[in-house]
């Protein structure tokens, strides 16, 4: 079974090479022999990466990225809305922590300067049980939220976690894609292009998509997935984004 798996990987690798315009038949024959006889194909991949036409293509693509990059100007919430979001979200997380007794020494609600990454286990527990927790929270209303705040809290049930691709920075939004959908997100306290460089796009991440006051935001955590995308893949993502339906709310 292991041998069959390796052969499939080798064949896939060779099929990709054959689709490239700059590898002739003679080169492919040598590459095929190397790939079949060597378990460690890193030296081969490194050598391919040094092919002049590949390097030129990457260089031209990088220049194009820089030319089309639009620096974000108003792609995050106002300070007032950011404060409101964290008031509601941290209230829910404290309620979750108390309900499931995850960290009895941790205070979250109305705390300033807390690092969202410290709340990883509590955040996961909340989103895994969001419908029940939101319902119980709104019924108990432990922090005396007003009607608008309770309405916003209830809307959070529509949010979801997903692996997405940060595709493009628009002046007022960050476009992320999952499948054939493009969600137009706002940052919370900062524009997302100050967190992730446009040079990395398209960048796969694990994050949350959360509705908030007729906008889409995330919770401040972008877990980058360390995958190197080739130029052809990047162009495919760009083309898909152009024809994708843009969602500004859920």
d(CA 230, CA 234): 6
Mean pLDDT value of segment 68-95: 95
CA distances from 51 to 5, 9, 20, 24, 47 (A): 28, 22, 12, 13, 7
In CATH, what is the architecture of 158-247? Beta Barrel (2.40)
% of the chain exceeding 90 in pLDDT: 60
The predicted structure's pLDDT at residue 203: 92
Q: What is the DSSP string of 99-111?
A: HHTS-TT---TT-
Rounded percentage of the chain residues whose pLDDT exceeds 70: 77
Indicate whether 229 pLDDT > 90. no
Q: How confident is the model at residue 115 (pLDDT cuts 50, 70, 90)?
A: confident
Mean pLDDT computed over every residue of the chain: 83
Q: How many CB atoms lie within 10 A of CB 188?
A: 21
CA distances from 38 to 11, 44, 160 (A): 14, 10, 43
Q: Residue 235's pLDDT band (boundaries 50, 70, 90)?
A: confident
Instruction: Pick the closest to residue 36 from 10, 5, 9, 65 (CA basis).
Output: 10
Residues composing the chain: 250
Q: 113 or 219: whose pLDDT is higher?
A: 219
Predicted pLDDT at 23: 39
Q: What is the pLDDT of residue 234?
A: 86
Q: Looking at the predicted structure, is the pLDDT value of residue 232 above 60?
A: yes
Query: Residue 238 above 70 pLDDT?
Result: yes
The pLDDT of residue 21 is above 50: no
Residue 25 has pLDDT above 50, yes or no: no
pLDDT value at residue 195: 95
Q: DSSP assignment of 23-92, as one string?
A: --HHHHHHHHHHHHH-S--HHHHHHHHT-HHHHHHHHHHHHHHHHH----SS-B--HHHHHHHHHHHHHH
Q: What share of the chain is helix, strand, coil (3-state, %, to 5)?
A: 55, 15, 30
Each domain of the chain, given as residue ranges in start order, spans: 2-50, 79-157, 158-247
**DSSP assignment string, 159-178:** -EEEEEEEEEE-SS-EEEEE
Res 228 pLDDT > 80: no
- Average pLDDT, stretch 124-128? 96
pLDDT band (50, 70, 90) for residue 218: very high
Mean of pLDDT values over 205-227: 93
Model confidence at 244: pLDDT above 50: yes
3-state DSSP call for residue 117?
helix
Pick from 167, 171, 194: nearest CA to 183: 167
pLDDT of 48 over the 80 cut:
no
Q: Which two tokens stand for residue 100?
A: 């499931």
Label residue 68 by pLDDT band (50, 70, 90).
confident
Helix (H, G, I), strand (E, B) or coil at 225: coil
Higher pLDDT, 80 or 18: 80
């Amino acid at each position: 079974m292991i041998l069959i798996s390796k052969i499939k990987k080798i064949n896939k690798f060779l099929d990709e090479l054959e689709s490239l315009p700059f590898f002739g038949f003679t080169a492919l024959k040598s590459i095929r022999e190397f790939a079949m006889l060597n378990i460690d194909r890193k030296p081969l991949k490194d050598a391919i990466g040094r092919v002049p036409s590949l390097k030129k293509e990457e260089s031209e693509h990088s220049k194009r990225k820089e030319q089309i990059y639009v620096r974000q100007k108003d792609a995050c919430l106002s300070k007032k809305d950011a404060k409101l979001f964290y008031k509601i979200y941290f209230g829910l997380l404290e309620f979750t922590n108390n309900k499931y007794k995850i960290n009895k020494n941790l205070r979250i609600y109305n705390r300033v300067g807390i690092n969202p990454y410290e709340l990883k286990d509590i955040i996961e527990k909340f989103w895994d049980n969001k419908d029940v927790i939101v319902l119980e929270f709104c019924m108990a209303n432990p922090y005396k939220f007003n009607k608008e705040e309770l309405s916003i809290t209830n809307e959070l049930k529509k949010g979801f976690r997903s692996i997405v691709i940060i595709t493009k920075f628009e002046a007022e939004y960050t476009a992320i894609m999952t499948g054939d959908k493009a969600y137009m997100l706002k940052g919370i306290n900062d524009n997302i292009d100050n967190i992730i460089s446009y040079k990395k796009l398209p960048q796969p991440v694990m994050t949350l998509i959360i509705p908030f006051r007729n906008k889409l935001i995330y919770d401040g955590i972008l877990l980058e997935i360390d995958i190197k995308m080739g130029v052809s893949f990047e162009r495919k993502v760009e083309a898909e984004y152009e024809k994708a339906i843009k969602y500004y709310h859920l």
